[in-house]
Chain A
Amino acid sequence: MEHSSLDILHVDGKLRLKFFGELTLYNLTSYQKTVDSINFSRETDVIIDFMELEFLDSAASIFIYNLEKKLLSDGIQVEILCKNEDILEIIHLVKNQKQISTKIAHSAKRGILEKLGEHTYQNYLGFLSFMAFMGELFSNKICYIISFKNIRYKEIAFEINESAVKAFGIVALTSFLIGLVVAYQSAYQLKIYGANIFIVDMLGISVLRELSPLITAIVIAGRSGSAFTAQIGAMKITQELDAMRTMGFDPYKFLVIPKIIALMITMPILIFISDIMAVIGGIVVANIDLGITVDLFLDRFSEVVAAKHFFIGIAKGPFFAFLIATIGIYRGLMVKDDTQSIGFNTTKSVVESIFAVIICDAVFSIALTNLGI
């Protein structure tokens, strides 16, 4: 290896490329540069001299093959001098293989219009498949309505525990902090006008009506929605869903609908917990920062905050739950046979379900305000 080198000589009007030592993947690039810098246009005969070469690997013989081909096409005579059987064999092997191998086609570059068209079509197909999913979902839901026998209580109970009961802690903590922060920021503003007591009105309505349902939905989308996608996606990859189908267990009845129902049942409860915790957060700030006692806060609360705000907040729960669960499950069913698509679909599931929840909330907001509720 230490004496590998290339000599370029002119002997008898012929260009002689004399290789020493080894010619392999590791030193090929420098040789390639040297050879490329040679001006072959004045030559008529080139001798590639491997007499002193000890080892040639397949990458290097491809290089030699290409060089020979290029020189021949320029009308230059090429002669390879070699006595080493191994080297001759590998040159021969590469030559044979190269003659039958075809170039790997590069995928053609596509124009913006074509890409846009494909993208639109893909989205259209995605929309169709979502509609197909919804159709299947409702036709299966009807089974539940027809007969109580079809309801899978065990699965529903399991899902209630998995996706909701275990989320109580995180929902409670998040809501408490949100209540604290909102109250703290508004306390600062209210103090300026000496309108301390109005913190109750502000906090009560905003938390019960909007903040609690939204915060709960976002936490659940991030926690349970993504879990649905990952679980169903993984089951798809391991063929568990196929196995279920061939055994006649419809995955919709066994996996999909119990999850949706479980979440729809528990979401209002979670929102209720979130309400309590956020108001407690508010009470703490009102007490410390604004000097409003707990009694005063609660008196004012029952006076100014109408019960309808609470009920509206709770009523949003099942709708949000339906959106989160269906999107999470749909994304899980869209997972292809590779692990990367689990990550892709889980991300999409969380983003899409939060987006859908916010849209739904906006619709509620506008509709209810216009109805005067």
Chain B
Amino acid sequence: MKNIIEVRDVKTIFDERIVHNGLNLTVKEGEIYGLLGPSGCGKTTLLREMVMLQKINSGSIKVLDYELNHIKNEEAQQLRQKWGVLFQSGALFSSLKLKENIALPLVEYTNLSKAMINEIVEYKISIVGLKSEDANLYPSQISGGMKKKAALARSLAMDPKLLFLDEPTSGLDPISAREFDALILKLRDILGLTIVMVSHDLQSIYDTLDSVAIIDNKKIVYEGSLGNIKSVKNEFIQTFFGKYNE
């Protein structure tokens, strides 16, 4: 299978604090890939680096065959249309209605007719499990779970190959969280997505992830499937996974 993301020897320094010191990981096509680790280990930072919101100090990141260090402006624009990003709090544009939020990338990047865009928006709304009457609400009028779903619909608007999720189930009640997991699995199967996510939700980790990378002490301490993770001698892994399902 093709490598979708390759992270090589990435080093990140905030002021004087070293966050990452030589990270290496590989995300393969069609995987649901999890970034895990104790809080403050730089999971979200790594995610932000992958989506070009933050620069790395050294090393290289390759996303969909684009080398992020030397990417040209036009290439960056092309790349941005090939991925979707779901932020922790949704980050819907508060001045736009849900349907306008979802339609925005379509309006900007395509020359589709209004009717066609409406159709697409309706489809995306139904695929994430929102009701069509929610489409006319503003982000401030809906609940946290709905915001996440709407934000997911927006990130799927351009039919991306790659989806980044930053703590998709945090702040959701357990039922919505399980629904969200099922949704992500369903989307991966229907749309053939590759998904990279940061998560703390053990249930969701076991239900959805194909492989994980554990970041601890500025490095990757484990990369691979969840099956044999418990054999790894690491304090975080032992406390986080140790007691589960025993």
Say if A and B assemble together. yes
Binding site for B on A (CB under 8 A): 234-235, 238-240, 242-249
B20-58 near A? 1/0 per residue, CB < 8 Å: 000000000000000000000000000010011100000
Q: How far is the CB of B236 from chain A (nearest CB, A)?
A: 20
Are A246 and B77 within 8 A (Cβ)?
A: no
Q: Does B186 contact A (CB under 8 A)?
A: no
Q: Can you report 17 A-B residue pairs in the complex whose CB atoms are below 8 A from each other?
A: A235-B94, A238-B91, A240-B93, A242-B53, A242-B87, A243-B85, A243-B92, A245-B80, A246-B51, A246-B53, A246-B80, A246-B83, A246-B85, A247-B80, A247-B104, A248-B77, A249-B104
Which residues does chain A contribute within 8 Å of B204, judged by CB atoms?
A: none
Q: How far is the CB of A245 from chain B (nearest CB, A)?
A: 6
B57 to chain A, nearest CB (A): 18
Residues of B within 8 A of A239 (CB): 87-89, 91
Q: Please judge, given known A-B contacts A238-B94, A242-B53, A243-B93, whether A248 and B87 are in contact too, CB under 8 Å.
A: no
Q: What are the residues of chain B within 8 A of A247 when measuring CB–CB?
A: 80, 85, 104-105
Most central of B80, B91, B105 by chain A CB within 10 Å: B91
- Chain B: interface residue total (CB-CB under 8 A): 22
Known: A240-B93, A243-B85, A246-B52. 20 other contacts (CB 8 A): A235-B94, A239-B91, A240-B91, A240-B94, A244-B93, A245-B53, A246-B51, A246-B80, A246-B83, A246-B164, A247-B80, A247-B85, A247-B104, A247-B105, A248-B76, A248-B77, A248-B80, A248-B81, A249-B104, A249-B108
Bound Cα distance A246, B92 (Å): 13
> Are the C-beta atoms of B105 and A238 separated by less than 8 Å?
no
The answer to whether A238 touches B52 (Cβ under 8 A) is no
Cα distance, A245 to B53, chains bound together (Å) = 7
- State the CA gap A239–B148 with chains docked (Å): 13
Q: Measured between alpha carbons, how far is A246 from B105 in the docked complex, in Å?
A: 11
Please indicate the chain A residues that have their CB under 8 angstroms from the CB of B76 in the complex. 248
Closest to B53 in A: A242
Closest to A231 in B: B95
